[in-house]
Structure 1
Amino acid sequence: MNNLNNPDWNISPDQGEGGGNSKWNYALLVPMLGLAAFRSIWSREIRKETVRLEMEIDMERRRAQGLEQASAFQRQQFLNEKQKAVLGQVEEKLMERQSIFCSYVVSRDKRRAIEKDLLVMAREPPLAQLGIDDGLRNIFRNDHKCAEIQNTNKHRNGSLMWVYLKFWKQQMEQQKTQAPLVATQPTEK
């Protein structure tokens, strides 16, 4: 090996047996070239493997994000269907409650029991997001509209309850349309 600080250790072209140093040059040159070629090929293969792995990781990350988005969308759809079903039950109970309110025969205790059930339903997960309990209390205090005495159609009793039911249904639809937008937004990691 050449040491530039110590000229005595350096190999000069005229050193060697028989006046030529071709043995030394080729003896050192061939392995060095072999190592350089091997390193070059090895580095290229490592780069290829790294790029391939990065692409696989990126594809897997995208697939996981897609599955996460699909799962969030399905959860929201399930929640919307559950809300719709429970809101239908609330509508039925409100009609029954208003019918009892307008009746001269049925006990007020039955109406109060229905009101308690409605408030409990309002706090349960499907409806808790809609926040309907304040609206229910307002209906119980202020909805005094009754149809004529011979009325058999429960849809004709009440006024405020129909306004609230329409509002809650619109609110539910708004949540339904906003949920896919939220589910499709990419998450940062």
Structure 2
Amino acid sequence: MNNLNDPPRWNIQPDPGGREGAAGDGNQWNYALLVPMLGLAAFRWIWTRESQTEIQRVKAQYDKDVSTIKSEMEARFRDTLIESRRAVAALELDLEKERQRVKGYQQALVSHTQHLIQERKQLDKEREALTDEKQRLVKSGAAGAALHDALDKEKGWYQRAMAALKELEGMLVERQNAYCSVIQPREQRLEMEKNILLKVVKDPAVAELDLESDLRDIFKRDKHCADLLNMDKRKNGSLMWVYLKYWQLQITVQKHKRAEEAISDGRIQSHPK
């Protein structure tokens, strides 16, 4: 029977030859494999340590780069924010200046319009007084006939003056439309204003009314424009329409004054009945 406690080459037997016979036995391979394994372990330990060092270095550089970029972005954001606040403050200042300027213009326009309305009322009173005087003179016989003749003489001037005023009204409408237009150039409007001033100076029908200063006042102060969708040019302007009515009254009053001057100077003779 086989000895189960001593199967052939199953159990490791003690070295019968001692240290001297070990070189010819299989145990020598254990020492041969130990050296590469130790070298591999050492290499792995070194590689792991170097890898950890590299990882720490890259991580530190990454954190540094992120911190630098963050600082630069924060600085740029602060600069942009400061510039934006400065721009907003400047715009608010300009807006307040424009509001004050518009407010001052509106107050001046209201005051000027009220002044013109008062003058118009005064002209209405003068016209009524002249009408009453005309009626009185008509009833007085010869003087009434003289006044009637004088008014007939001035009828031609009156019609020419009203026609010139009507033409001037059309020119002012076109000028105001050019002022309100976002397409027409400023130079074109200035040329219109120049032509209007030349007309009132050279046209004898309205030259004696001295409209130049009134027109310059319109060019300077009348900034009223209808809404952008407006197609009616006559809805533009505000002060110019007050002046036009004022000029009509001026022409009517001037007609009677010219007639009275003609009678006073003896150009119109009164003939008793």
TM bin (shorter chain): 0.5 to 0.7
Structure 1 gaps of 5+ residues are 1-65
Task: List per-residue Cα deviations over 1:114-154 (Å, max 9, x = no partner).
Answer: 10110001112111111100011111111100000011112
In the alignment, which of 240, 246, 258 is matched to residue 179 of structure 1? 258
In the alignment, which of 122, 139, 160 is matched to residue 82 of structure 1? 160
Cα distance in 1 between the residues matched to 2:163 and 2:255: 14
For the aligned residues, what is the CA RMSD?
2.3
Percent identical residues: 35
User: What aligned pairs does 1:110-189 form with structure 2 within 5 A after superposition?
Assistant: 110-124=188-202, 125-185=204-264, 187=266
Offset at 1:88? 0.5
Aligned residues, how many? 121
Offset at 1:187? 2.8
Offset at 1:181? 3.0
Confirm or deny: 8 A CA contact 1:73 1:183 kept in the other structure: no
Larger Rg: 2
Cα distance in 2 between the residues matched to 1:82 and 1:137: 23
Match for residue 62 of structure 1?
none
Q: Secondary structure at the match of 1:152?
A: coil
In the alignment, which of 159, 162, 169 is matched to residue 91 of structure 1? 169
Confirm or deny: 8 A CA contact 2:151 2:255 kept in the other structure: no
Q: Which amino acid aligns with 1:127?
A: V
Offset at 1:166? 1.0
Task: List per-residue Cα deviations over 1:87-132 (Å, max 9, x = no partner).
Answer: 1011000000001100001122221111011000111211111110
Cα distance in 2 between the residues matched to 1:115 and 1:168: 18
Confirm or deny: 8 A CA contact 1:80 1:172 kept in the other structure: yes
Structure 2 gaps of 5+ residues are 1-144, 268-273
TM-score w.r.t. the length of structure 2 is 0.41
Cα distance 1:156–1:183, how it changes in 2: closer, same or farther (>3 A)? Answer: same
Q: Which amino acid aligns with 1:123?
A: V
Cα distance in 2 between the residues matched to 1:187 and 1:144: 47
